[in-house]
Amino acid sequence: GKTLIARAVASSADARLFVVNGPEVVSKYVGDTEERLRGIFAQALAAAPAVIFMDEVDALCASREEARHAGRTGELEGRIVATVVSLIDELRLEDRVVVMAATNRPQSIDAALRRPGRLDREVEVGIPSEPAREAILRVTLRQYPHVLSDGDIEAFARMTNGYVGADIAALVKEAALAALHRLAGIGDAAVDVAGGGGGAAAADVAE
């Protein structure tokens, strides 16, 4: 859900999306994480308009107190937070770069990031309702050829109670792979899909 929101924001603004996955960016080598972050911000500025989306930001910008509770010194976290704060503060309106972040543990984020002018607008994203799941399904299905009817999509929206955006995206991807394997057994899958004679069907999603 949170990642889909970032994609929707970037798409609606006709902006390029840069996704920063917190755990993947953090490096054990001194200065490496900070350099990676500077590189991402530089790329976004060069590609503006752009949206920088920091997923699992609590892994990237945990407070020093949180780090100490986890048995670390907090020195690395302090350097990373200082770098992110500096990069955000340097952005100007005319740069046309927006920074978004997502976390399941907002209380773990360093308070410096949540001050006015930084990541100061917070939106809670809960479990999507049935209409929201249907909307997510429709948006995700645009990426794949399929023969699902409106009734099929509505039925799967009802069946996916408790699913979040990532779960629905994974479901659709698995259905697309199932359709590809099915079509590969009856001829040229690519031609069949492109010609409108194939694609993900209700049975593939149900699997």
**Whether residues 30 and 70 fall in one domain:** yes
**Whether residues 41 and 104 fall in one domain:** yes
Classify residue 152: in a domain, yes or no: yes
CB atoms within 10 A of CB 137: 22
pLDDT of residue 69: 67
**Whether residues 105 and 134 fall in one domain:** no
CATH at residue 18 = 3.40.50.300
Calculate the alpha carbon distances from 53 to 26, 110, 115 in Å.
15, 17, 18
**Whether residues 75 and 134 fall in one domain:** no
Residue among 96, 100, 93 nearest 122 (CA): 100
**Whether residues 69 and 97 fall in one domain:** yes
- pLDDT reading at 186 higher than 60: no
**Whether residues 54 and 146 fall in one domain:** no
Classify residue 120: in a domain, yes or no: no
Global pTM reads: 0.67
pLDDT of residue 16: 95
**Whether residues 88 and 31 fall in one domain:** yes
* Counted domains in the chain: 2
**Whether residues 82 and 136 fall in one domain:** no
Q: What is the per-residue pLDDT across 90-129, written as a single tens digit (0 to 9) for each?
A: 999 999 999 999 988 888 888 898 899 898 888 887 888 9
pLDDT class for 188, splitting at 50, 70, 90?
Answer: very low
pLDDT of residue 190: 38
Give, rounded to a whole angstrom, the gap between the first and last alpha carbons of the chain: 23
- pLDDT reading at 47 higher than 90: yes
Instruction: Residue 154: give the domain boundaries.
Output: 130-206
CATH at residue 191 = 1.10.8.60
**Whether residues 93 and 161 fall in one domain:** no
**Whether residues 105 and 140 fall in one domain:** no
**Whether residues 97 and 54 fall in one domain:** yes
CA triplet 87, 91, 96: central angle to 5 degrees? 130
pLDDT class for 178, splitting at 50, 70, 90?
Answer: confident
